[in-house]
């Protein structure tokens, strides 16, 4: 291999010219350096960290073809569209191509027309493909989503095992592996499976400063979700993750009924419907996807502004992957988990029903998820700790626990009332009742059940009249969290005292609980988010016009809108209101080719709107 010495200035210049970016994201420059030096590389960057640039930039800077192995056709298509739009010659080979188109691309590869080639791993073992590669002057192999090679990862793909033999066939060509998911075990496995040679290992911080995390502890109703989404600007798209097909259908119905355009997505739909719905989301034709975790991998849409979890995430790692799909463009985005205690009990039961061999691991996963939900600490800190990273600040200022820390207070007396009411009702009743009935008894309600079961004769009937149902509900949640009460999901969530609860009741142990969170609408404008560059004021009317233009151009070219310009670029335009090509070019994300192709149309749109706005003022 002959190595080219590429100067730093040259790298920066190419970053500007092809991608229109003024600066690198953390770790990008060092990775680009190592790739350019011809080293094997293993790089771990969070979703949205900007992995593609790390090999696309070297690809335009050096002779030869960069071969990218990628697991999904949809992903390849997006990447090729994005490169095309930026003026970088790239193509993909996959089984979905009709012969004439395939021939055209193969001819281009023979001529050396392309800087990048995307292929699925299956292609690597097709007869003759290695010979083709020999002729195409491969500069490096890039393995995207490299964790797919490991059985220890969450997304093992046996086809990835076909990559390793390439190493023998191309002993002098460097291999670069990229992933957003890797525990230490997966990391070592990837390096071993790919046979990486003394790789330069880059592990970027997993912190996504522009993402806000919150656990919504308010009663989880569909109405609460509608309100939460409705409080956000209606040009913001998002994903609602549900734990079941039924829930994703139901939530989509509820949102549509409330006037929020939504589609369901799950494995129960045929593949054509799924593809159509995914496309509608990617193209900004529908605002919300209500989906099971079947949705997400292969979604490069950079302007996902919120991710909601409706059911209990399966693991903290999964949660982080799913929330990671928000805010890839670096603008502020929200991740909210609508939490319900009853769900935890249900998942616990589900875990206990697993085969012996899987139980311990599943229990541990659930424990981590629970601890996260119940925690009072900075959520970012906890998430990063899960990945073995220490967040360097005590508070991030961009999670519910940092923004609205909740005070603790002594609730011994009320807790005693509630615990003894549970105890009395159970004693009187023989078998259990749900928490709603216990609260009815506490507040002295007159219900059919209370009548029928004579629960108005209990000594605890009406002893909690002085507080409203909400307060009791919150206290019950806290006692569940503290392990003094438990719910039995196998029996309609009936509540009972745990041994600790019985002891606390008998010994009058002091009980401290946290305040309920006031139900706040989605927050806007925060400290850390400002650092992510998204909080400055911009002209919303202009933004809407630019968005419409972007959509029009995207439709003409048959590409997703974010491939034309990201939301971050449009917001910067709506903030800085460029008048000249030079001003437009100075916006991050406006490269040479995009300026040439779309500059005039965007400048015109800006001028026209500004004129109209001036006319209204005068
Ligand atoms: P990943 O594959 O790591 O999830 P991508 O490569 O898709 O991330 O990049 C995420 C987004 O960040 C894209 O919209 C990309 O254009 C943008 N991006 C990448 N590098 C930079 C940079 N240096 N400056 C600004 N934006 C960047
Ligand atoms: Zn925090």
Interstrand relation of 237-241 and 288-291 (parallel, antiparallel or unpaired): parallel
Distance 329 CA to ligand 1 centre (A): 7
Give pLDDT, residue 618. Answer: 60
Give pLDDT, residue 515. Answer: 85
Q: pLDDT tens across 426-456, in order?
A: 887 777 788 889 999 999 999 999 999 889 9
Residue 324: which of 121, 559, 51, 571 has the closest Cα? 51
Distance 217 CA to ligand 2 centre (A): 16
Q: Is 467 in the pocket of ligand 1 (CB under 6 A)?
A: no
Average pLDDT, stretch 377-383?
Answer: 93
Which position has the token pair 């994300």?
589
As given in the structure block, the two tokens for residue 43 are 């790089």
Q: Is 52 in the pocket of ligand 1 (CB under 6 A)?
A: yes
Q: Contact at 8 Å (CB) between 47 and 179?
A: no
Distance 597 CA to ligand 1 centre (A): 21
Region of residue 497 (left: phi > 0; alpha: psi -120 to 50; beta: else): beta
Q: What percent of the chain has pLDDT over 70?
A: 95
Average pLDDT, stretch 508-526?
Answer: 68
Average pLDDT, stretch 608-613?
Answer: 87
Most ligand 1 atoms within 8 A of CB, residue of 328, 533, 568 to mutate: 328
The architecture of the domain spanning 8-203 is 3-Layer(aba) Sandwich (3.40)
d(Cα 139, Cα 61) in Å, to the nearest integer? 11
- For 579-601, what is the HEC assignment? CCHHHHHCCCCCCHHHHHHHHHH
Consecutive H or E run containing 362: helix 356-374
Which ligand has the shortest distance to the CA of 526? 2
Distance 386 CA to ligand 2 centre (A): 15
Average pLDDT, stretch 202-230?
Answer: 91
Domain range list for the chain? 8-203, 211-403, 408-514, 535-617
Measure Cα distances from 141 to 39, 55, 93 in Å: 11, 10, 15
Please name the residues in contact with 350: beta carbons below 8 A apart, sequence gap of 6 or more.
none
Distance 319 CA to ligand 2 centre (A): 16
Same fold, 8-203 and 211-403: yes
Give pLDDT, residue 357. Answer: 82
Interstrand relation of 494-497 and 485-488 (parallel, antiparallel or unpaired): antiparallel
Backbone angles phi, psi at 459, to 5 degrees: -65, -20
Give pLDDT, residue 4. Answer: 58
d(Cα 187, Cα 177) in Å, to the nearest integer? 10
CATH says 408-514 is which class?
Answer: mainly alpha
Residue 148 confidence (pLDDT) above 50: yes
Q: Is 50 in the pocket of ligand 1 (CB under 6 A)?
A: yes
Q: pLDDT tens across 21-63, in order?
A: 999 988 999 999 999 999 999 999 988 889 999 999 999 999 9
Average pLDDT, stretch 362-377?
Answer: 88
Residue 521 confidence (pLDDT) above 50: no
User: At the topology level of CATH, where does 211-403 sit?
Assistant: Rossmann fold (3.40.50)
Distance 484 CA to ligand 2 centre (A): 28
Q: Is 386 in the pocket of ligand 1 (CB under 6 A)?
A: no
List the single range of 151-155, 215-219, 300-304, 348-352 with lowest mean pLDDT. Answer: 151-155
Give pLDDT, residue 257. Answer: 97
d(Cα 80, Cα 83) in Å, to the nearest integer? 5
Which ligand has the shortest distance to the CA of 565? 1
d(Cα 88, Cα 115) in Å, to the nearest integer? 7
Closest residue by CA, ligand 1 atom 18: 50
Other Cβ atoms less than 10 A from the Cβ of 329: the count is 25
Closest residue by CA, ligand 1 atom 24: 21
Alpha carbon 166 to its chain's center: 33
Point out which residues pair with 240 in neighbouring strands: 290, 308
Q: pLDDT tens across 289-336, in order?
A: 999 988 877 778 999 999 999 999 988 988 998 999 999 999 999 999
Instruction: Give 163's pLDDT tier (boundaries 50, 70, 90).
Output: very high
List the single range of 32-36, 81-85, 472-476, 599-603 with lowest mean pLDDT. Answer: 472-476
Which position has the token pair 């939530």?
251
Q: In CATH, which superfamily holds the domain spanning 535-617?
A: HRDC domain (1.10.150.80)
Residue 533 confidence (pLDDT) above 50: no
- Mean pLDDT in the chain? 90
As given in the structure block, the two tokens for residue 500 are 């600790």
d(Cα 8, Cα 28) in Å, to the nearest integer? 13
Highest mean pLDDT pick, 234-248, 339-353, 521-535: 234-248
As given in the structure block, the two tokens for residue 132 are 């083709």
């Amino acid at each position: 291999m002959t190595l080219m010495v590429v100067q730093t200035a040259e790298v920066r210049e190419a970053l500007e010219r092809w991608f229109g970016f003024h600066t690198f994201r953390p770790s990008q420059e060092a990775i680009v350096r190592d790739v350019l030096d011809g080293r094997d590389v293993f790089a771990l960057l969070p979703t949205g960290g900007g992995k593609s640039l790390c090999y696309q930039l070297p690809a335009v800077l050096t002779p030869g073809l960069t071969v990218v192995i990628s697991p999904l056709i949809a992903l390849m298509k997006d990447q090729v569209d994005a490169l095309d739009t930026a003026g970088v010659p790239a193509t993909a080979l996959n089984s979905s191509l009709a012969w004439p188109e395939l021939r055209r691309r193969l001819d281009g590869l023979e001529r050396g027309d392309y800087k990048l080639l995307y292929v699925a791993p299956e292609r690597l073992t097709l007869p003759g493909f290695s010979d083709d590669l020999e002729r195409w002057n491969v500069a490096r192999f890039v393995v995207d989503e490299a964790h797919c090679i490991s059985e220890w990862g969450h997304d093992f793909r046996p086809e990835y095992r076909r990559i390793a033999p390439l190493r023998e066939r191309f002993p002098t060509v460097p291999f670069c592996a990229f992933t957003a998911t890797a525990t230490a075990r997966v990391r070592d496995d990837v390096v071993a499976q790919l046979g990486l040679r003394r790789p330069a290992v880059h592990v970027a911080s997993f912190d996504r400063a522009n993402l806000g995390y919150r656990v919504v502890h308010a009663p989880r109703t569909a109405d609460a979700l509608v309100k939460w989404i409705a409080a956000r600007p209606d040009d913001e798209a998002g994903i609602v993750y549900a734990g079941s097909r039924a829930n994703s259908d139901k939530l989509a119905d509820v949102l549509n009924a409330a006037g929020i355009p939504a589609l369901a997505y799950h494995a129960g739909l045929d593949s054509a419907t799924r593809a159509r719905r995914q496309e509608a989301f990617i193209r900004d034709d529908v605002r919300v996807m209500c989906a099971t975790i079947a949705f997400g991998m292969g979604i490069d849409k950079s302007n996902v502004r919120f991710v909601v979890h409706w059911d209990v995430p399966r693991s903290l790692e999964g949660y982080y992957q799913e929330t990671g799909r928000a805010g890839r463009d670096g603008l502020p985005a929200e991740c909210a988990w609508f939490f319900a205690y009853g769900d935890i009990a249900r998942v616990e039961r589900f875990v206990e029903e697993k085969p012996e061999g899987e139980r311990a691991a599943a229990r541990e996963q659930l424990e981590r998820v629970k601890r996260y939900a119940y925690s009072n600490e900075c959520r970012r800190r906890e998430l990063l700790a899960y990945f073995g990273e220490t967040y360097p600040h005590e508070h991030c200022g961009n999670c519910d626990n940092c923004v609205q820390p909740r005070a603790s207070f002594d609730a011994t007396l009320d807790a005693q009332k509630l615990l003894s009411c549970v105890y009395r009702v159970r004693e009187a009743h023989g078998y259990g009742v749900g928490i709603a009935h216990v609260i009815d008894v506490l507040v002295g309600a007159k219900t059919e059940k209370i009548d029928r079961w004579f629960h108005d004769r209990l000594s605890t009937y009406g002893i909690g009249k002085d507080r409203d149902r909400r307060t009791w509900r919150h206290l019950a949640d806290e006692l569940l969290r503290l392990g003094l009460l438990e719910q039995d999901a196998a029996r309609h969530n009936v509540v009972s005292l745990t041994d600790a609860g019985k002891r606390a009741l008998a010994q009058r142990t002091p009980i401290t609980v946290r305040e309920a969170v006031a139900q706040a609408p989605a927050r806007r404008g925060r400290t850390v988010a400002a650092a992510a560059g998204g909080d400055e004021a911009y002209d919303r009317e202009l933004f809407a016009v630019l968005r419409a233009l972007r959509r029009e151009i995207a439709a003409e070219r048959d590409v997703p809108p974010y491939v034309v310009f990201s939301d971050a670029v449009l917001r910067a335009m709506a903030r800085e209101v460029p008048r000249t090509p030079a001003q437009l070019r100075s916006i991050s994300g406006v490269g040479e080719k995009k300026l040439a192709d779309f500059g005039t149309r965007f400048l015109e749109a800006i001028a026209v709107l500004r004129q109209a706005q001036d006319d209204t003022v005068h």
